[in-house]
Amino acid sequence: TAKPGNAPQQSQSRIKGAESFLRNVLASMEAVYLNRNPSAKAILELVRSVDNDKICYDHLAFRTFGTDGHGIDSLANFFLDFGYTRQEELSFPAKKLKAFWFSPPANSDAAYDGDGVHGPLPRVFISELLVDLMSPQTQDIIRKYTESSHKGKKHAALASALGSLTWEKPSHSEFVQLARESEYAAWSLVNGYAVNHVTISIHRLKSHLRNIKNLNEFIEENGYKLNSEGGVLKVSPDGLLLQSSTLADSVSFEFSDGITTTVPCSYIEFAERLVLPQFKHLPETEVKEQHRRDGFEVGNADKIFESTSKQQQTGKA
Ligand code: OOG
Ligand code: NI
């Protein structure tokens, strides 16, 4: 049903080719994440098991080192090439981090019936460590590894989809030095471009879990700990973006000096986006994603970052 002057059929099918490649890449990133994070995998299955529900991803999140082309852009380029649009910057001066979020391209109609990476395309949240603001020792360690990756920064999405670091493994003492100064830096050194978390879109569930308070209770009843930094439920100042997250799983990691310890891996997040005031009058069946609160919130994100931190993991409340 091409209107005059609109893209003809042929370019429509080119778009579909790109979309299916994008989804295959997302599926590989997700597979790496599910293999490494048994709690996240089990939680996705649990949520699906209630009323045989489907999962929509609200967003996928990644961390990077903001130095010499290894930062946000290294991964963003892939998403921009496949139709994503860069949105607002978020800044976290105390953590020496910044982030951008990216909105997805328009979906093909089939997406609305799909599950997970085959459903509506997720937003993407990519942050970077402001490496120049770290201590000289920490900067030296980070640059030693980013430089050793040579042109790896051009292939960040591939590294994420493969679950491979683009640099060699660090020594245990280097990991500890980074962790002392920035949990984020230490996490990134051993996890690289791997998915940091996927986020379940809570309001798009069908079961009673479509309310984030019910969801949080359900997760805790099933024996999983939620990140309690600043309270379990994170609420944006406008009251319309509600988020919570689990604590990251740990994996055994063999450092280059032969020492093996557990290191934090990834977590899973939950987000409920409420209907914007100007669309309050719409009947529930007509409410679409574009009628809901979009974007991210610095105050929420600042606390969600703690989902991979040791203090949270060892149960400091
Ligand atoms: C990202 C934390 C922020 C959100 O949705 O605001 C976040 C991270 O831990 O890397 O996920
Ligand atoms: Ni998130």
Residues within 6 Å of ligand 1 by CB: 61, 63, 125, 127, 196, 243, 269, 296, 300-301, 304-305, 307
- pLDDT tens digits for range 190-226: 999 999 999 999 999 999 999 999 999 999 999 999 9
pLDDT averaged over every residue in the chain: 94
Is it the case that residue 40 has pLDDT exceeding 60?
Answer: yes
Between the CA of residue 36 and those of 113, 144, 194, what are the distances in Å? 27, 26, 10
Q: Going by CA atoms, what residue is nearest to atom 2 of ligand 1?
A: 305
Question: Which pLDDT band, with edges at 50, 70 and 90, does 6 fall under?
Answer: very low
Q: How confident is the model at residue 109 (pLDDT cuts 50, 70, 90)?
A: confident
Q: Going by CATH, does the domain composed of 11-313 fall within 3.40.50.300? A: no
**Ligand positioned closest to the Cα atom of 234:** 1
The average pLDDT across 138-149 equals 98
Extract the tokens encoding 307. 């989902």
Tens of pLDDT, residues 148-203:
999 999 999 999 999 999 999 999 999 999 999 999 999 999 999 999 999 999 99
Q: What's this model's pTM, rounded to 2 decimal places?
A: 0.94
Q: What is the mean pLDDT of residues 283-304?
A: 97
According to the model, what pLDDT value does residue 4 have? 47
DSSP state letters, the chain: -PPTTSPPHHHHHHHHHHHHHHHHHHHHHHHHHHHH-HHHHHHHHHHHHGGG----EEEEEEEEEESTT-SHHHHHHHHHHTT-EEEEEEEEGGGTEEEEEEEPPPPPGGGGG--GGGSSPPEEEEEEEEGGGS-HHHHHHHHHHHHHTTTGGGGHHHHHHHT--SSPPPPHHHHHHHHHH-HHHHHHHHHTTS--EEEEEGGG-SSGGGSHHHHHHHHHHTTPPBP-TT-SSEE-TTS-EEEEEBPPPEEEEE-TTS-EEEEE--EEEEEEEPBPGGGTTS-GGG--GGGB--S--HHHHHHHGGGG-HHHHTT--
pLDDT band at 11 (very low <50, low <70, confident <90, very high): low
Ligand 1: which of 64, 305, 312 to mutate, judged by most atoms within 8 Å of the beta carbon? Answer: 305
pLDDT at 108: 74
Give the distance (Å) from ligand 2 centre to CA of residue 115.
19
Per-residue model confidence (pLDDT) at position 113 = 83
Pick the residue whose CA is nearest to atom 7 on ligand 1.
301
Atom of ligand 1 nearest to the CA of 307: 9
